[in-house]
Amino acid sequence: MDAGNSNYTDYVRDKYNQYGGPKDPWHRYAQERIDHFTGQLVREAGLPENAYLLNAGSSGNDHGLTEFRQMHVDLAEATIQHLPEHIQGSVESIPLPDQTFDACVCVGSVLNYADGMKTIRELTRLLKPGGILVIEFEISNSAEYLFTKHGGADQAFVSTFLNYEEERINVYSRSAIFSLLDELGLRRERVVAFHVLSPWVYRLTGSINFAARFAALDPLVRWSWLSRRAGNLILRCRKS
């Protein structure tokens, strides 16, 4: 199995058609931070009142942004089919015209299950000039992969964990994503790291529960060089 092939896509679709949410403290914390920052980064962007938002790989989660009209796209139809505007399909290729949306949101490691680079290009195509892109993803620079062959790789298919089980995902380096954003004329307005110390503790101890406790220190260490080795980044960019 390899990210990008159809077996992997089927695996992801089946998994999320039955997914019951994060059950380990590492991912419960991540979900809470993602919902919090997504709401904040979108609301602080100064979008027009009638803004139209694309929620790519949404799993039906509107992140509390109920004041905006939203189009939900997901591989897992069970998560979105009850919603008034939805498309079952891949975020890598969305059958909608250029410049349809004021905001595109792709958070919750969706980029790590898809071809992240292709997806960012596709979301940029769908954004109006001046529109915002909010993305969140897991990075290869994380201390979790330090001294492994994938540490710092521009793109790598790695083994990690979710709900105490092995999970295979794509990770990207911070610099590979930032270069692509520059190339596409997406200006970074805010970058927030989370799971800053916890990947170090996980790497040293192998204990998910123990490591997850160190996420509580994120607000203190987010500003330090340690954030370069954080597990997750969420950012807002604006299309020129």
Ligand X SMILES: C[S@@+](CC[C@H](N)C(=O)[O-])C[C@H]1O[C@@H](n2cnc3c(N)ncnc32)[C@H](O)[C@@H]1O
Nearer to ligand X, 148 or 163 (CB): 163
Interface with ligand X includes 59 (CB under 6 A)?
yes
Interface with ligand X includes 231 (CB under 6 A)?
no
Which residues lie closer than 8 Å to 90 by C-beta, 6 or more apart?
9, 75, 114
Q: How far apart are CA 220 and CA 32, in angstroms?
A: 18
Give the binding range for ligand X (CB under 6 A) out of 104-112, 144-152, 202-210, 224-232: 104-112
Interface with ligand X includes 90 (CB under 6 A)?
yes
CB 240 → ligand X: shortest distance, Å? 26
CB 31 → ligand X: shortest distance, Å? 6
Nearer to ligand X, 75 or 104 (CB): 75
Looking at residue 142, the DSSP 8-state letter turns out to be S
Query: Alpha carbon of 61 to those of 39, 165, 170: distances in Å?
Result: 11, 23, 22
Interface with ligand X includes 122 (CB under 6 A)?
no
Taking alpha carbons only, the member of 234, 236, 200 closest to residue 35 is 234
Residue of 26, 29, 109, 120 interacting with ligand X (CB under 6 A): 109
Which residues lie closer than 8 Å to 216 by C-beta, 6 or more apart?
none
Q: How far apart are CA 83 and CA 71, in angstroms?
A: 9
Backbone angles phi, psi at 169, to 5 degrees: -145, 165
Nearer to ligand X, 74 or 151 (CB): 74
Residue of 76, 120, 127, 208 interacting with ligand X (CB under 6 A): 76
Output the CA angle 129-93-2, nearest 5 degrees.
Answer: 130
Strand partners, 137: 233
- The CB-nearest residue to ligand X is 108
Nearer to ligand X, 12 or 226 (CB): 12
CB 34 → ligand X: shortest distance, Å? 5
Q: What is the DSSP string of 84-116?
A: SSEEES-TTS--S-TT-EEEEEE-SSHHHHS-H
List the structure tokens of 146. 């330090």
Give the binding range for ligand X (CB under 6 A) out of 74-82, 179-187, 192-200, 221-229: 74-82
Nearer to ligand X, 55 or 227 (CB): 55
- What residues make contact with ligand X under the rule CB under 6 A? 12, 16, 34, 57-59, 61, 73-76, 79, 90-92, 107-110, 113-114
